């Protein structure tokens, strides 16, 4: 089987669900967000925007909003100190797909440099709320233009935060 650095990074990536409290380094954040900007997008329209949140008060506000949508008061960000909010221009027909590819790049890049990461859902609902729209306006983004696609949480994995890979299902690929 062919193997290289990229294929190895893909196979090694896992979601992290427990984080140490210390903030990631600026150069780590830069490497991850830059990888997100290189994701393919429909007709290269580059519809997504990445909002890097490291301010604890804003991070905690996003966590509380996400938890409320889920109907819980637990931290859906598992203690991760950084949240990369991926939004996309809803006028672009491929905006959800574009934002999803950005999320994939963010997750892979984080794993490849030793950070823990996880896709946290409910960004769409978060930024459809009045509180979410107010945040978008505060960040200089038009709430009528952008739709939430996902939240990529980042941090240093805590012990037990990353579980071993589950086996791939037998019928994952159908060859025709």
> Could you give the CA distance from residue 29 to residue 36 in angstroms, rounded to a whole number?
11
Calculate mean pLDDT across residues 74-84: 98
Whole-prediction pTM value?
0.97
Q: What percent of the chain has pLDDT over 70?
A: 100
Q: What percent of the chain has pLDDT over 90?
A: 99
* Average pLDDT value for the chain: 97
């Amino acid at each position: 089987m062919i193997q290289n650095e990229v294929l190895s990074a893909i196979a090694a990536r896992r979601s992290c669900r427990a984080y140490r409290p210390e903030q990631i380094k600026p150069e780590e954040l830069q490497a991850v967000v830059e990888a997100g900007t290189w994701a393919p997008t429909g007709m290269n329209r580059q519809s997504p925007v990445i909002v890097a949140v490291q301010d604890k008060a804003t991070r905690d506000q996003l966590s509380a909003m996400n938890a409320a949508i889920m109907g819980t008061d637990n931290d859906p960000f598992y203690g991760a100190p950084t949240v990369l909010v991926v939004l996309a221009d809803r006028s672009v027909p491929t905006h959800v797909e574009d934002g999803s590819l950005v999320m994939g790049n963010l997750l892979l890049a984080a794993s490849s440099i030793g950070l823990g990461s996880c896709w946290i859902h409910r960004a769409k609902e978060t930024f459809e709320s009045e509180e979410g729209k107010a945040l978008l306006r505060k960040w200089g983004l038009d709430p009528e233009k952008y739709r939430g696609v996902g939240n990529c949480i980042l941090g240093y994995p805590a012990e037990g935060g990353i579980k071993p890979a589950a086996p791939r299902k037998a019928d994952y690929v159908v060859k025709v």
